[in-house]
């Protein structure tokens, strides 16, 4: 595994990895199809998004993926966290916070000083690992070309 890859283990046997080859695209596609932010993404779009970002998975000891996060980053100055998803059967076990702590530690190790994300309903999970509301939200602007039929993030 390259030196810039992440591999962390928990006492309960779960592990977190940034090895893209371990990501289960069938599970990820199904998870994102059920999400409010990516329900209209095609499998090809999901594969392309993973190819062009840092993908993180949480796995059981026998290699079954149970969570996902992506960091869209230049690996120098900025990262956007997206597609954070914990399988419903595994929620409430601290996996989301552990996943995000690992992702943030990895980005810090890579030298990325600024990390942002958007959430509709998981603010407390992200607060627990250090996120806060934008200090100057009026500086941020956007172009959103998603279909108006799709749900907004």
Give domain limits for the chain. Answer: 7-139
pLDDT at residue 151 is higher than 70: no
Decide if domain 7-139 falls under CATH 3.60.10.10.
no
Question: Which has the higher per-residue pLDDT, 5 or 24?
Answer: 24
Compute the distance between CA of residue 42 and CA of residue 59 in angstroms, rounded to an integer: 24
Kindly report the pTM of this predicted structure.
Answer: 0.90
Q: What is the predicted pLDDT for the residue at 80?
A: 97
Nearest 5°: the CA angle 31, 114, 133 is: 75
88-144, pLDDT tens digit by residue? 999 999 999 999 999 999 999 999 999 999 999 889 999 999 999 999 999 999 998
Q: What is the predicted pLDDT for the residue at 3?
A: 56
* Percentage of the chain lying above the pLDDT 90 cut: 87
DSSP output for 64-113: -EEEEEEEEE-SSS-EEEEEEEE-GGGTTSSHHHHHHHHHHHHHHHHT--
């Amino acid at each position: 595994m390259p030196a810039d890859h992440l591999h962390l283990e928990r006492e309960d046997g779960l592990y977190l990895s940034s090895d893209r080859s371990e990501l289960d695209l069938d599970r990820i596609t199904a998870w994102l199809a059920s999400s409010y932010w990516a329900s209209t993404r095609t499998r090809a779009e999901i594969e392309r998004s993973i190819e062009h970002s840092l993908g993180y998975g949480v796995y059981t000891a026998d290699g079954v993926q149970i969570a996902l996060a992506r960091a869209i980053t230049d690996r120098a100055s900025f990262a956007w966290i997206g597609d954070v998803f914990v399988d419903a059967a595994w929620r409430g076990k601290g996996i989301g916070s552990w996943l995000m702590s690992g992702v943030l530690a990895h980005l810090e190790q890579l030298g990325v000083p600024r990390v942002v994300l958007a959430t509709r309903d998981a603010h407390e999970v992200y607060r627990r690992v250090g996120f806060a509301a934008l200090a100057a939200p009026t500086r941020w602007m956007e172009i959103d070309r998603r279909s108006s039929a799709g749900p907004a993030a």
